[in-house]
Amino acid sequence: MFLDTVILVLQEILEAALIISVFLALIRHFHDLKPGSFTPGHLWIPAAVLIGVSGAWIYAFYMPEITQWFDYVGLEIVNSVLQIMIIILLLCFCYMVTLERLEKSPRLNLLVAICLTLLVSLGIIREVSEIIIYAQGILSNPENYSPVLLGSLIAIGIGASSGIILYYVLINLHGLWGLRICLILLALFAGNMASQASLLLIQADWLPYTVELWDSSALLPEYSVTGQLLYALIGYEANPSLLQVCVYIGAVLLILTSPLFLLSWRYNNMQAVSNS
């Protein structure tokens, strides 16, 4: 019971903690490169947590009814829609933010803050609702209180510590490389969301089954601590299907060809031209 709780809660907490860390580091690097140009503020973080946790409780409350939708695959469909919405918001962020737009329209910072709030809150709704459902089922037996509580605290501690470590690693990367690494991680996160969404739609029979490309579970199990870290950070899966790999690559390429990512590689040239 204790180990099951650690694994489940860690899996759900890690993703939210790491994506928040990447966004905070990205904003920090952007501000360092162009002070005053990108200031979405810090209120989006508590707002996202508040909306996300509240939404998770509502989602968990109605989950028995949602499960019966679409011929009893409602849970898979709704979760896949949440993940697709996260990808869309991530694309909006990467295609909306450019130096030119920020300089011409300071109100864009407000739109970016709203986008970040919605993006993170949707992720929290998806992750925390599963923890709530698990806890409600397990805690019906009083004997489970101690192992579930201890396991949850340890998992939350590991997840939060991983997020903090990642944040400080990213902000200590030199200049533009810090910005580039953050954007690459966002691209991998988008790929992870796309892969998960496609898997859920396959399970719901809304997408066709495709051949399994490889099985690396013997080398690195998904449910090990390292496997969970890689799953949350880059979408590691031990036995992905062909369709999952295709949508993963497609989502990654959409981020890597966005104006924000291209800006991180052209910024030195732009500075040289403006200085000359």
- Does this model's pTM top 0.85? My answer is yes
What does the pLDDT look like over 66-83, one tens digit per residue?
A: 999 999 999 999 999 999
- Please write the tens of the pLDDT for every residue from 176-196: 888 899 999 999 999 999 999
What letter represents residue 233's amino acid?
L
Largest CA distance in the chain: 72
CB atoms near residue 35 (< 10 Å): 9
Q: What is the CB neighbour count within 10 angstroms for residue 68?
A: 11
Res 217 pLDDT > 70: yes
Q: What pLDDT, on a 0 to 100 scale, did the predictor assign at position 268?
A: 59
Q: What is the CATH number of the domain that holds 188?
A: 1.20.1250
Q: How many domains, the chain?
A: 1
Structure tokens at 242: 């062909």
CA distance 216 to 231: 13
- What is the extent of the structural domain holding 170? 2-275
